[in-house]
Structure 1
Amino acid sequence: MRSLLTSEFTKDGSVDLLGRPSVRRKTGGWRACPFILGNECSERLAFYGINTNLVTYLIKEYHQGNAIAAKNVTIWSGTGYVTPILGAFLADAYWGRYRTIAVFSCLYLVGLILLTLSASLPSLKPPSCDKMSCQHASLGQLIFFYVSLYFVALGMGGIKPCISAFGADQFDNSDPVERKNKGHFFNWFYLSINVGGLVATTCLVYIQDNTSWALGFGIPAACMAVSIGSFLLGSPLYRHQRPQGSPLVRVAQVLVAAFRKCFVQEQRKLPRYSRFLDKAAVNTGSKKGTLPGPWKLCPVSQVDEVKTLLRILPIWATLIIFTTVYSQISTTFIEQGSRMDTNILGFKISPASMSTFEILTVILMVPIYDRILIKLARRVSGHPQGFTQLQRMGIGLAIGILSMVVASATESKRLELARTHKLVDDAVKPVPMTVVWQLPQIVILGIAETFTYIGQLEFFYEQAPDSMRSLGTAVALTTFGLGNYLNGFLIMVVSRVTSNGGSSPGWIPDNLNLGHLNFYYDLLAFLSACNLVWYLIFAKAFKYRESSGRTSCLLH
């Protein structure tokens, strides 16, 4: 009788909204996921509705140059993926994931409303260019615009590290069926991201380019308001993991305790505590015979948490270069497409809308992977998920290199046509080359994304210590931010170095027909190849957490 009563509740320590143990048949599972997936879909619709066409907005409405606009977009996008460290800290230490998502969603909505106002009111943006001059934005206009933009980035900081982890929390690892469904959840979670992105890169980009920027920013604001209401509506169905204290403090305690005993000579042989971090768990005694405080002595489990985080850092670092490659979809790919013929079957499309095909690729690939590739790979590898998480990411990194090689070849062809038709000095007229030529590089990048980023989500959630799940997701998201920062930094350095102080156009000038954007793609392909070698070295040596049920390495 006791076992029957116990089976009614989850065994992972989750509780309901009122703090009571979660009842398995009333909470969590797929019944709770639609509200979570809907929130993520709306958030991504808003983000891509801004990010996809932002470089065009800055060039046309704020009169910025190609390199400056690309740099500003990557810095903003990068910030949106670094702020999750703050959201993860609050979620793991104090608020829990549910409250953090709710609060930061409201901040996100405030940013969207302010951004809509900046595009609506003539006093908040510079006047349109005329034949004689082009007036830049005033300091006040720039401040209002960037404050609204970075409010959105701050809102992302609370949503992104928590939403996927909160969704995974709805499945109890102790139940075999729910554990299997958790793996499927990450695939469908990523699908919801791309459904939002698809609407943004088709409908919203079209509205922004052909109707109104204000309406193009206002629609995501309305969708975000609806999604917040929907997310709160599902509150009775959610399972919650209690906050377990500041993960950053726990990490700091281990580091401080280990450093304090760095030069302590152990009186007896303790094999387990022979390394630097393990010294944090060695009791060297105290003057009064009492146990030292947490900054002098840490439990073995706490030391293992920090060691787990350190083990995944080399894998984390390799994903930064891939994000640098991926960020071309919202920067240089758009600038490249704007110098090509954008008429397709009689319709003139925005270069930013070409990213739609990347999103369609992901939407198509997720069910193919989930229903076909996993089964085929399972027959060969014997692994329940077909590929290990590290194998999946490694495949994506390799495919990403191919995308840059194809992009370079496309740009070389475009430059050749510009010279042939004597359009080198024309910064406006597109070359007679259809933008459809961008499809191969975009589709390949979409395939690479499907392997890399879904594997990344699952890897960092599963391998992070149980008390640091939000932080683990945030650490994964910082690769997006740092990758965007790196792209902005590379663009700035390459522009300065290759222009010889302004004496030559350089690789990425305002008139791309005078530059060599193909060389920049070659540089990214080379960096990606070196990065893949680094990844294989560390992935082969990596050992999965025992609690995750996996002990195999990349090439096992």
Structure 2
Amino acid sequence: MEEDGVFTNDGTVDIHKNPANKKKTGNWKACRFILGNECCERLAYYGMGTNLVNYLEKRLNMGNVKASNSVTNWSGTCYITPLIGAFLADSYLGRYWTIASFSILYVFGMTLLTLSASVKGLKPSCENDVCQATSSQTAVCFAALYIIALGTGGIKPCVSSFGADQFDETDETEKKKKSSFFNWFYFSINVGALIASSVLVWIQMNVGWGWGFGIPAVAMAIAVVFFFSGSRLYRVQKPGGSALTRMFQVVVASLRKSNVKVPEDSFLLYETSDVECNITGSRKLEHTRKLRFFDKAAVQIESDDIKASANPWRLCTVTQVEELKSIVRLLPIWATGIVFSTVYSQMSTMFVLQGNTMDQHMGPRFKIPSASLSIFDTISVIFWAPVYDKLIVPYARKRTGHERGFTQLQRMGIGLVISIFSMVVAGVLEAPDAMRSMCSALSLTTVALGNYLSTLLVTVVTNVTTRHGKPGWIPDNLNRGHLDYFYWLLAILSVINFCSVPLDFQVVHLQKGQRKRLVMVVGMKTVLCLVGDCFCLVLFLLFVFMA
């Protein structure tokens, strides 16, 4: 009994693969290194990305549309590569080594980007503020950017989950601290973003791009040092195998047994007899009576030989089935974030380009760089994060009885309402233990698809509105365009997106025997998110040209 109090009960080990000692590892003593790492990494990312559209326009001599689309394509890739990092973390390397290895790749990319902006021969030649970049110089710049995009892929889906690993879910005291960790994690992100969008943007516009990219490169190197400094204090969750493979196994096994009847008694479904789950790093999940078709994968039939070991492509455990169910139930909610991310991506593209056309002076001497306009969003988050954690959550906890104050869906709902007016990102979704990295990556793909959707919208709008010799909505001289029309289009898409939110709640709360309703609800959601957005775009463009 004494040993039970010494070590964690969630399967975590220390860096030397020994059982994690509760007093010597984890908790806030380990998290301060993780938060420091995240703060520096976000400073590096935003220090480079916030003003990137201006660099592409001014130094690589791109037009507004090409520069904007280049940024959203790159940013979208930064948020799609986490699927690679999550796969490696969950299946083979674990979160610690994934973060470590991809961080080094990240530093290499930042260094190459700095060289491309500062070394003669690699940087574009400029005369009287007019720059010309050769194809090879452009290639080096974009090679650096996409190396960075790959580097972020191993960090984004793993850092927050790695922080969660430092708190034992079976310990009530540590469980409450974990909830607080996410609030301060978000706070540290925005501290880095604040420095980037103020100090670094000013340096880029007034001192030079070599320094402007060099400082973020140093910040990323410091982030790596921060991360490795806390190694002896970390709790490490062992990789639990490929979550994607397990999900495909459930789908295949369910289809193979499509004619098998699912027993009413869930205890007759297949599960390992061990107390612990057979998926490394995960606890057993309780059976739910939703999405019953997938339960067929856990029904034992005569051809299933479980004496030695069951073939997972024919027979899956209840926990494995519930993993897939959790992802399926998440998909409609996940889709809601795509349009939101499209709107949010304008802060680093169109808002910056629009800011270039404005009078940026405050008084006779002080001038605010256009890329620093996003600082107001960052400051609001820095202010509200501790207020939310210390004041709002304790009050909401008393009123709702929920240990986190609000449920995850309530957080998202509140955030989507606010986003229509202020574009503040809402919340964090939690999923099964062995899929934390994969689910983090899945949530980040909404940002990726949102950026890619922004590229598509800008391209379509430009192609349609520049016909017959017209300057279009987004010309190189924005004073001659109609950027306001583009913003109205995004506002309408946001309203359509918000109107589909009630469908998400219906999917989450479906009960037994409501399979037809599930098909109807998911179908409606899909139509609203995909067809509805495209139809709205066509109608809006027709309306503008007919007016």
The Cα offsets for residues 276-301 of structure 1, whole Å up to 9 and x where unpaired, read as 32222223332989775211111121
Shift of 1:270: 5.0
Q: Is the 8 A contact 2:304 2:314 kept in 1?
A: no
> In the alignment, what sits opposite 2:136?
140
Shift of 1:259: 2.0
State which of 315, 325, 331 in structure 2 corresponds to 1:307: 325
CA distance in 2, matches of 1:249, 1:216: 43
State which of 350, 360, 363 in structure 1 corresponds to 2:369: 350
Counterpart secondary structure, 2:313: coil
- RMSD of aligned alpha carbons: 2.0
CA distance in 1, matches of 2:292, 2:509: 18
Shift of 1:540: 4.8
**Where in structure 1 are there 5+ consecutive unaligned residues?**
403-443, 545-556
The Cα offsets for residues 318-341 of structure 1, whole Å up to 9 and x where unpaired, read as 011111111111111111111110
The Cα offsets for residues 435-485 of structure 1, whole Å up to 9 and x where unpaired, read as xxxxxxxxx33xx22xx1xx12xx1xx2x2221111011111111111111
Distance 1:45 1:395, change over 3 A: same
Counterpart secondary structure, 2:154: helix
Distance 1:307 1:342, change over 3 A: same
> In the alignment, what sits opposite 2:279?
none
The answer to whether residue 524 in structure 2 is matched with residue 528 in structure 1 is no
CA distance in 2, matches of 1:288, 1:169: 36
Shift of 1:487: 1.0
CA distance in 2, matches of 1:226, 1:537: 45
Q: What does 1:106-255 correspond to in 2, within 5 Å?
A: 106-128=104-126, 136-255=132-251
Distance 1:182 1:65, change over 3 A: same
State which of 387, 391, 399 in structure 1 corresponds to 2:406: 387
State which of 339, 345, 352 in structure 2 corresponds to 1:321: 339
CA distance in 1, matches of 2:322, 2:408: 21
CA distance in 1, matches of 2:339, 2:380: 21
Distance 1:543 1:182, change over 3 A: farther
> In the alignment, what sits opposite 1:493?
460
Amino acid at match of 1:487: S
> In the alignment, what sits opposite 1:57?
55
Q: Is the 8 A contact 1:119 1:125 kept in 2?
A: yes
Shift of 1:151: 0.7
State which of 485, 490, 497 in structure 2 corresponds to 1:519: 485
Distance 1:353 1:271, change over 3 A: same
Shift of 1:378: 3.3
Q: Is the 8 A contact 1:202 1:353 kept in 2?
A: yes
State which of 280, 296, 301 in structure 2 corresponds to 1:279: 296
The Cα offsets for residues 372-404 of structure 1, whole Å up to 9 and x where unpaired, read as 2223433443333222111111111111112xx
CA distance in 1, matches of 2:439, 2:109: 26
Amino acid at match of 2:445: T
The Cα offsets for residues 73-114 of structure 1, whole Å up to 9 and x where unpaired, read as 011011011100110111111111000000000000000000
Amino acid at match of 1:386: G
Aligned residues: 485
Q: Is the 8 A contact 2:126 2:132 kept in 1?
A: no
Identity level (%): 52
Amino acid at match of 1:513: N
CA distance in 2, matches of 1:318, 1:116: 37
Distance 1:182 1:289, change over 3 A: closer
Shift of 1:11: 1.1
- TM-score normalised according to structure 1 size: 0.84
Distance 1:304 1:66, change over 3 A: same
Counterpart secondary structure, 1:123: coil
The answer to whether residue 469 in structure 2 is matched with residue 471 in structure 1 is no
Amino acid at match of 2:74: W
CA distance in 1, matches of 2:306, 2:38: 53
Shift of 1:261: 2.5
Shift of 1:192: 0.5
Amino acid at match of 2:454: N
CA distance in 2, matches of 1:469, 1:269: 30
> In the alignment, what sits opposite 2:316?
298
The answer to whether residue 123 in structure 2 is matched with residue 104 in structure 1 is no
- TM-score normalised according to structure 2 size: 0.85
Amino acid at match of 1:352: A
State which of 377, 396, 400 in structure 1 corresponds to 2:415: 396
CA distance in 2, matches of 1:249, 1:77: 28
Q: Is the 8 A contact 1:397 1:528 kept in 2?
A: no
Distance 1:287 1:150, change over 3 A: closer
Distance 1:68 1:6, change over 3 A: same
> In the alignment, what sits opposite 1:503?
469
The Cα offsets for residues 181-220 of structure 1, whole Å up to 9 and x where unpaired, read as 1111000000110111111111111111011101111111
Shift of 1:543: 5.0
- Superposed structure 1 runs of 4+ greater than 4 Å apart: 268-274, 287-292
**Where in structure 2 are there 5+ consecutive unaligned residues?**
270-290, 511-547
Distance 1:29 1:292, change over 3 A: closer
State which of 85, 89, 92 in structure 2 corresponds to 1:91: 89
The answer to whether residue 350 in structure 2 is matched with residue 363 in structure 1 is no
> In the alignment, what sits opposite 1:549?
none
Q: Is the 8 A contact 1:104 1:155 kept in 2?
A: yes
Q: Is the 8 A contact 2:260 2:296 kept in 1?
A: no
Counterpart secondary structure, 1:128: strand
Counterpart secondary structure, 1:295: coil
> In the alignment, what sits opposite 1:68?
66
CA distance in 2, matches of 1:63, 1:370: 45
> In the alignment, what sits opposite 1:410?
none
CA distance in 2, matches of 1:361, 1:76: 26
